[in-house]
Amino acid sequence: MSTNSVELHRVLKSNADRVYRAFTTAGAFAKWLPPHGFIGTVHEMDVRVGGRYRMSFTNFTTGHGHAFGGEYLELEPGQRLRYSAEFDDPNLPGRMQTTVTLREVFCGVEVKIRQEGIPAAIPAEACYLGWQESLELLTKLVEAEIRD
């Protein structure tokens, strides 16, 4: 069975620490990762190499959802993280792997994301579109400068 992969690249007006925390803080992850029209719930998040996370996306219109989870494979604060993901749905078999690389640049932080092993039933274009929507939400989260 073939699988798909996508690569994304952004430069955000933020810093690597904030972006890294957006991937490793349950409330932040639930806020920005679900694409438009979905609600995210983080059920478990043990952020350490070998630790596991589990979350679900629920379609706001239909109420239908899907759950997935995986393991943290690599964690370098402010620089890089790599994690796996597997869907609960047997129609979406396989183990995906997402690698996020962060690099401070003069105007913010460069973010590179590569997701591999996307089940063949999910068209790469649909996955790419979902990631673009998620990254739009990530940008709004990490670029906001709110002072107490």
SS (H, E, C) 40-57: EEEEEECCCCCCEEEEEE
For residues 53 and 16, give the distance between their C-alpha atoms in angstroms, rounded to a whole number: 21
Both tokens of residue 51? 């630790």
pLDDT at 148: 76
pLDDT(3) > 90: no
- Whole-model pTM: value is 0.93
Please state, rounded to an integer, the average pLDDT across all residues of the chain. 95
**Amino acid type, 121:** A
Tell me the mean pLDDT in the region 61-84.
Answer: 97
Tell me the mean pLDDT in the region 125-135.
Answer: 95
SS3 120: coil
pLDDT tens for 41-67 read 999 999 999 999 999 999 999 999 999
Among candidate residues 86, 22, 95, the one with its CA nearest the CA of residue 54: 86
Domains and CATH numbers, the chain: 3-36+73-143 (3.30.530.20)
